[in-house]
Chains A and B, each alone.
Chain A
Amino acid sequence: MTFFLEQLIIGLSSGGIYAIMALALVVIYKSTGHVNLAQGELAVFSTFIAWTLVQMGVPIWPAILLTMIVSFIGAVILERVVIRPFDEADDLVIVAVFVGLFLGIHSLAGAIWNYEVKPFPSAFSDGSVQIVSDLSIRAHTLGSLLTTCVVLAATWFFFRYTRLGLALRASADNHESSRLVGINVSFMLALGWGLAAAIGAIAGVMIAPVTFLDPSMGLAPLIFALAGALLGGITSPFGAALGGLIVGVLEAMISAYVPYGIEFRELIALLLILSVLLVKPAGLFGELVTRRV
């Protein structure tokens, strides 16, 4: 029983990370209509920036905050310069551009920080926390879970109760009407990217202490986040977050209880993606975008 609870908490913790990455994917999808294939790479790049700051002596939490700001600005620039020109293009062209972005960011990270695996300090203490008699969880795992909950709550609050959040939602819903009520849609597109990058940065610094930091760190989390986002509905922030949590728990359970489970985690994610897309593409909570001839 203890083992189960332990795995459950671990699953929720990684699920929380997938949830916030899924959220980042949803934010960009809702505001621009594109799936950001480079989301993982952006998160990794941000994490490297945080690493550099820590190496320079900045304490971890200020480093994370600074990283979020830098990521925000960087993503806004990226959206304006690389993505915006292709706004009206075909699916294939857009996918190609995102692939190009993916490769470019990955290589840039490798070029600046090389491909050696680096340890990354946890934002929380290194020890374990005892919950009940024989159940103890690593501080990082719990802290990570808590942080992602805070991020989810903050994002929900932002979208629901702030003027800017309303503008972002409006812009995602209807570009033209948004302009007619005075919203600068162009700014909203960039804002969506900036937010997604900032959220992704948090995901990155939560993952890195566990998996160690290297340019390829973002691949697996991205596929799990993608599975979660699709499962919950890529148009629904709440759904995507829930989807991420489910995927996290599923991953933990399969790794723990199914023989060879660990090796096939990505395959399970793939099968999940396929199933969702085939059975209910809108996901559990999303809306289907109908296609006009």
Chain B
Amino acid sequence: MTTGLNEPANRLHELPDYRPSARFWARLGYGAAAILFLAATGTLQGYELFLASSILSYAIAAMGLNVLMGYNGQISLGHGAFFAIGAYSAAICIDQFGMSFAFTPIVAGIVGMAAGWIIGKPALRLEGVYLALATFGLAIATPTILRSDLFAQWTGGVQGLFLLINPAPKWTGLDLDQSIYLTVVVYFLAFAYVTLRLVRGLNGYAWLATRDNPIAARAMGFDVTKAKTRAFVYSVLACSVGGALQAVAVQFVAPDSFPFFLSISLFTAVVVGGLCSPLLGPILGSAFIVLVPNVTEEVWQGGSWAVYGAVVILVMAIQPKGLAGMFAWLKFKVAGQSGS
């Protein structure tokens, strides 16, 4: 295992294996995983389905944020804001317009992107720590805006909104939890596919080039601004959709559901899961942020933050590729095959 203390982030990326045989097995693997996820609808029960829905919702958000932070190197401590925007968009659609829950993530995504465009324009001109600071401010400001009486008419103010969600039609035989879960899985698979296509394609290279050396990238003909914008917009889209799905899963939104710590949790999910791991990292990372509180909150209230904090620092010190990196390392040791 390489020590990570001073390893630059730009060494985190490894090229995927493009040999035809490797691709065949990879595709088979993805297909099998997809079927597994779908099949779980039938095998998991109530609360487990809820957990799974949460994990996958956060995973979608993490996928987007990973594109922004891992591939494009922009630091955001404030994506909880977009998660919240997505959640509230979905909530308002259901509450005010009676929309079927399955379509709300689409609306949420559009609204989110609009917000992302407004916030992104100034944000994209900032770099490194400055962007981190600005987004830090965004994360702190978000709950106060949500709590505001000014918007209470739509947002339900401090008390929030309870969402009335109707399960799938009777003929499908699915109960509420199952309906929700299945919807989440469909969106998740769609995002997984899109993310992989993006990062493995020209966009991925553009993002990496502009991350590692924007000046050289520009000299080589990459449109740096466009690349940064695309990464940002994608991350916002993913977070909004993730937020919408999570709101549906929980069936409730309130300002207190989107505190400053939500942004930090998303950040943690990406860092712990593994920067630059487009799919496995987000899944592992979101599993981390969903399951850890479940375990620790019973023993120690507020302790999950400590675990997040300690793990983040440890990951940075020992293995910056995060859980996905450790997984790959294990695979290397066990299978003994070379990656790239």
Contact = CB atoms under 8 A, between A and B. Distances in A.
A and B touch in their complex, CB below 8 angstroms: yes
A111 B306 contact: yes
B48 to A, nearest CB: 28
A111 B150 contact: no
A95 B75 contact: yes
A102 B144 contact: no
Interface stretch (B124-132, B200-208, B280-288): B124-132
A94 B73 CA distance: 13
Tell me whether chain B's interface is mostly helix, strand or loop, or mixed: helix
Contacts of A85: 5, 317
Given A89-B6, A103-B264, A220-B140, A277 B313 contact: no
A237 interface: no
A100 interface: yes
Interface string A82-117: 100110111111111101111111111011001100
B110 interface: no
B316 A111 contact: no
Contact of A110 (B128, B141, B302): B302
B303 A226 contact: no
A100 B9 contact: no
Contact of A273 (B5, B137, B147): B137
B312 A266 contact: no
B260 interface: yes
A16 interface: no
Contacts of B304: 107
Contacts of A111: 300, 302-303, 306
Contacts of A293: 215
A3 interface: no
B77 A266 contact: no
A111 B299 CA distance: 11
Contacts of B162: none
B137 A270 contact: yes
B126 A278 contact: yes
A187 interface: no
B138 interface: yes
Interface in B298-340: 300-306, 308-313, 315-317, 320
B308 A86 contact: no
B88 interface: no
B96 to A, nearest CB: 22
Interface string B69-93: 1000101010000000000000000
Contacts of A103: 264, 305-306, 308-309, 312
Given A95-B77, A265-B144, A223 B309 contact: no
Interface in B98-145: 122-123, 125-126, 128-130, 132-134, 136-138, 140-141, 144-145
B45 interface: no
A214 to B, nearest CB: 11
Contacts of A219: 140, 260
Given A91-B129, A95-B129, A219-B260, A107 B306 contact: yes
Contacts of A273: 133-134, 137
Interface string B155-181: 000000000000000000000000000
Contacts of A220: 140
A104 B134 contact: no
Residue from B138, B301, B302 whose CB has the most chain A CB atoms within 10 Å: B302
A239 to B, nearest CB: 16
A54 interface: no
B144 A92 contact: no
B271 interface: yes
A267 B145 contact: yes
B235 to A, nearest CB: 14
Interface string B1-15: 000111111100000
B149 interface: yes
Interface string B47-77: 0000000000000000000000100010101
B312 A270 contact: no
A17 interface: no
Given A96-B271, A264-B144, A266-B140, A277 B8 contact: no
Shortest Cβ-Cβ A-B pairs, 9 listed: A103-B309, A107-B306, A104-B309, A270-B137, A100-B313, A100-B312, A110-B302, A266-B141, A91-B128
Interface of A: 34-35, 37, 82, 85-86, 88-97, 99-108, 110-111, 114-115, 215, 219-220, 222-223, 226-227, 230, 260, 263-267, 269-270, 273-274, 277-278, 281, 293
Interface of B: 4-10, 69, 73, 75, 77, 122-123, 125-126, 128-130, 132-134, 136-138, 140-141, 144-145, 147-150, 215, 260, 264, 267-268, 271, 275, 300-306, 308-313, 315-317, 320
23 contacts: A35-B129, A35-B132, A37-B132, A86-B6, A90-B10, A93-B320, A96-B312, A96-B316, A97-B316, A99-B267, A102-B264, A103-B312, A104-B309, A260-B150, A263-B147, A263-B150, A264-B144, A266-B141, A267-B141, A270-B140, A274-B123, A274-B134, A278-B122
